[in-house]
Amino acid sequence: MTSAGLTVPSGDPAALRQLAAQLRTAAQGSGNLGTNTSELTGAITSDAQWTGSASNSFSSFSANLSTGTSAAEAPLTRIAVAVENYANVLDVAQQKAQTANAIFQAAQDDPTGSMISTAEQYGQSAMDALDALQQAGDQAAQQVGSAADDLQVGSLFGAHGPVTSWAGGQPALGTYSLWQPGDPVPGQTETIPLDDGLGLGPESIPADDGLGPWIETIPADDGLGLGTETIPVDDGLGPPIETIPVGPQGPLVNYDSDLPILDGSGKLHMPVREDPLPSYVPADWTREDLEQVESDLKDSIDKRQEEMVDLGEDTPRGPAHRARINQEIRLLRQVQKKLSGS
Amino acid sequence: MSSRSGDELIELLLAGEVSPEEEGEAANDLLREVFRGYPAQNLGRLIHSDSIKAVANGAFVVSELGAQAAPIIGEVDFLLSHPLREARFDALDAALTAASVEHGAILAKAVMLVADTDQAVRLKALNFLANSTPDQLTAAVPYLKDRHVADLATWLASAGSDPASLPDIRSRLRAPDKVTRMFAAAAAARVAGTSRRGLEDAAVSDDPDIHRFAARVIKMMERRRQTRAEQEQRRRDQGL
């Protein structure tokens, strides 16, 4: 079989798409283009974990933009399209690799061998998708370069402006040059150490923030760490000494006939009763009840996490759903501890 | 867990001046209050608010009510056509669990979200199509103004839910028309308990919506199988 252990490519297609859409919006605007694009550049490369030559080209290119003009709209829109295309191909490649690995595992566990051909089909499809991803990355790099060329032809920064200089791979070309490392600044006594990518003309030099040169995007700390985040595992109960809370003997609610159920939404919901989810494992749940709830909780948590990926972590619905997921994770841990007999 | 009343929680969420953690807890506390008898109709204050966060939190509570959202099905109707994608997204869960055959117009609105401009909403609508009852789909048909979609909903409620239609389902998965493919993917999931062939076809589709949906359904089925195996192993280990 060919699909064993395929490496699922990293990256966050949903974040890429969302940020590309924002880039498209930024491209359509005539003001604050430099600010928007530099912020989005940072977000695309860091939040969505877009890496590789296309990402590097895009980051460098966007860092050289400072002033919004209509001339930038078309090439920036093409970059947005390139990002979106890459996101779609990445999405397909990730899903196919994951599916192929899952099917391969299932085929290995199947003693009849009836799934071997299916697993091979999935494996081939996944490898095709990974090849397509490689090509998409290359094409994105070319498209970014082409967009930069268009800016060179246009009048955004003049024939020898900073974008031109960058696209040509040289820091300064033409009749007037950009600041070079070590160049003195006329009329000032200080030395600008590096091209700041902001072009010519009056500018204010910000105080040194200790983070070095270049345009920096410092995302606001959401307290959840970097990159695509998964739901925190720690329930704060401490694994080694955790005690399963036991409900009161006199039932507040008759859980026997009132188990949480996995409904058509794919999520665990309670039938008519007093709480949306038990905060402890009721003492009168049978082993069969516990096993059913364990399975359903896994489905529900997974479904909710998928939805967080689809919509993005940082959305208006995020806090409420994240809190709910944590409640379900806590209940699942309690159920599993009870089932394990500890 | 806070001791705030439902009214206080709604005020808190409307003001929106809390941390994300506090906001998440407040929304879940409000859900608990509704379960305990706080009037669900009061969620309208959030849902019809100008605050995006308040609308999203209102939609969250409605979506978590399950069948208990039936008394405020009008709010579900409102959320299904809300400009905020998160509102439409969560309203689909509420429509699935709370809308009955008497709510054909609302069900039709949910069906039409399969052509939403937002991919996450389309995937959610695909889940709606895969899990709605034949009666729900049939009730939606008279309210579907798009004849093509109405025909597809009729098909999904009958032949599209029948494993004997697998060849037709697989053929439709390759249709040039996106909406036809989406309904076929829903059908593939509906008959997957009998045969996974349709889902397996869908999982290798080049349509991002189709393959993503199918891969997730397959993954869920595999996870359930694995969980059952783990449970059996645990019983053996414990001598049960």
Instruction: B80-84: list long-range contacts, CB under 8 Å, 24+ apart.
Output: B80/B106, B80/B109, B80/B110, B80/B113, B81/B109, B82/B55, B84/A316, B84/B52, B84/B55, B84/B56, B84/B59
CB atoms under 10 Å from CB of A67, counted, come to 15
How much is the ipTM here? 0.93
Q: Which residues of B touch A280 (CB under 8 A)?
A: none
A279 in any annotated domain: yes
Instruction: B133-140: list long-range contacts, CB under 8 Å, 24+ apart.
Output: B134/B158, B134/B161, B135/B101, B136/B96, B136/B99, B136/B100, B136/B101, B136/B107, B137/B107, B137/B111, B138/B101, B139/B100, B139/B101, B139/B102, B139/B103, B139/B104, B139/B107, B140/B104, B140/B107, B140/B108, B140/B110, B140/B111
Contact A242, A337 (CB under 8 A): yes
A268 in any annotated domain: yes
Highest mean pLDDT among A109-113, A225-229, A318-322, B130-134: B130-134
Contact B228, A299 (CB under 8 A): no
A285 in any annotated domain: yes
What is the span of the domain harbouring residue A60? 13-153
Please say which residue of A153, A182, A200 terminates a domain.
A153
CB atoms under 10 Å from CB of A155, counted, come to 11
A278 in any annotated domain: yes
The secondary structure of residue A262, as a DSSP letter, is: E
Please say which residue of A153, A180, A207 terminates a domain.
A153
Q: Is the dihedral of CA A321, A326, A332, A334 positive or negative?
A: negative
> What residues of chain A, 77 to 106, have a C-beta less than 8 Å from chain B?
88, 91-92, 95-96, 98-99, 102-103, 105-106
Q: Please answer yes or no on whether B56 and A327 come within 8 Å at the CB atom.
A: no
Instruction: Tell me what the mean pLDDT of segment A215-240 comes to.
Output: 48
Which amino acid appears at position B76 of this protein?
Answer: V
Together in a domain, A24 and A142: yes
State how far the Cα of A122 lies from the Cα of B203, in Å rounded to an integer.
9
| pLDDT tens per residue across span B147-161 | 999 999 999 999 999
Together in a domain, A146 and A275: no
Instruction: Tell me what the mean pLDDT of segment B180-194 comes to.
Output: 97
Cα-based torsion angle of the residue sequence B13, B17, B18, B24 in order, rounded to the nearest 10 degrees:
30
Q: What is the chain A residue with the closest CA to B240?
A: A287
Together in a domain, A32 and A144: yes
Contact A37, A26 (CB under 8 A): yes
CB atoms under 10 Å from CB of A307, counted, come to 23
pLDDT for the residue numbered B213: 95
| pLDDT tens per residue across span B112-142 | 999 999 999 999 999 999 999 999 999 999 9
Say yes or no: B148 contacts chain A, CB-CB below 8 A: no
A193 in any annotated domain: no
State how far the Cα of A218 lies from the Cα of A215, in Å rounded to an integer.
10
Contact B188, B169 (CB under 8 A): yes
Q: Please answer yes or no on whether B227 and A298 come within 8 Å at the CB atom.
A: yes
A133 in any annotated domain: yes
Contact B73, B103 (CB under 8 A): yes
CB atoms under 10 Å from CB of B194, counted, come to 12
Q: Which residues of B touch A17 (CB under 8 A)?
A: 119
> If you search the block for the tokens 């789909």, which residue do you land on?
B137
CB atoms under 10 Å from CB of A132, counted, come to 16
State how far the Cα of B19 lies from the Cα of A223, in Å rounded to an integer.
11
pLDDT for the residue numbered A280: 84
Q: What is the chain B residue with the closest CA to A341?
A: B238
Mean confidence (pLDDT) of chain B: 95
> For residue A246, what are the β-bridge partners?
A281
Contact A276, B61 (CB under 8 A): no
- A224 token code pair: 């959840």
- B129 token code pair: 């199509």
Together in a domain, A17 and A137: yes
Say yes or no: B197 contacts chain A, CB-CB below 8 A: no
Instruction: Tell me what the mean pLDDT of segment A97-122 comes to.
Output: 70
Together in a domain, A20 and A140: yes
| pLDDT tens per residue across span A246-299 | 443 333 333 345 788 888 888 888 776 677 888 888 888 899 999 999 999 999
Which of A133-137, A162-166, B37-41, B128-132 is the least confident region? A162-166
| B206 has a pLDDT exceeding 70 | yes
Q: Please answer yes or no on whether B223 and A271 come within 8 Å at the CB atom.
A: no
Q: Please answer yes or no on whether B97 and A298 come within 8 Å at the CB atom.
A: no
Number of domains in chain A: 2
Please say which residue of A125, A153, A181 terminates a domain.
A153
A221 in any annotated domain: no
Q: Please answer yes or no on whether A310 and B231 come within 8 Å at the CB atom.
A: no
Between B97, B211, B231, which is nearest A265 by CB?
Answer: B97
Burial class from Cβ neighbours inside 10 Å (0-12, 13-18, 19+) for residue A57 reads buried
Instruction: Tell me what the mean pLDDT of segment A100-119 comes to.
Output: 68
Length of chain A: 342
Contact B94, B151 (CB under 8 A): no
Together in a domain, A17 and A145: yes
Between B63, B211, B238, which is nearest A92 by CB?
Answer: B211
Between A98, A99, A263, which is nearest B66 by CB?
Answer: A263
Instruction: Tell me what the mean pLDDT of segment A78-92 comes to.
Output: 78
| A314 has a pLDDT exceeding 80 | yes
Instruction: Tell me what the mean pLDDT of segment B84-90 comes to.
Output: 97
Burial class from Cβ neighbours inside 10 Å (0-12, 13-18, 19+) for residue B227 reads middle
DSSP H helical segments within chain B, as ranges?
6-15, 20-35, 44-47, 52-64, 73-80, 85-98, 104-112, 119-131, 134-140, 147-157, 166-172, 178-190, 197-203, 208-237
Q: Please answer yes or no on whether A265 and B127 come within 8 Å at the CB atom.
A: yes
Read off the pLDDT band of A151 (50, 70, 90): low
Q: Please answer yes or no on whether A276 and B131 come within 8 Å at the CB atom.
A: no
The secondary structure of residue A198, as a DSSP letter, is: S
Greater pLDDT, A60 or A137? A137
pLDDT for the residue numbered B50: 95
- Helix, strand, or coil here: A155? coil
A238 in any annotated domain: no
Say yes or no: A341 contacts chain B, CB-CB below 8 A: yes
Mean confidence (pLDDT) of chain A: 66
Q: What is the chain B residue with the closest CA to A310?
A: B120
Together in a domain, A147 and A270: no
| B11 has a pLDDT exceeding 80 | yes
> Which of these, A282, A284, A266, A263, lies nearest to A274 by C-alpha position?
A282
| B12 has a pLDDT exceeding 50 | yes
Which of A105-114, A162-171, B142-151 is the least confident region? A162-171
| A242 has a pLDDT exceeding 60 | no
Instruction: Tell me what the mean pLDDT of segment B52-67 comes to.
Output: 96
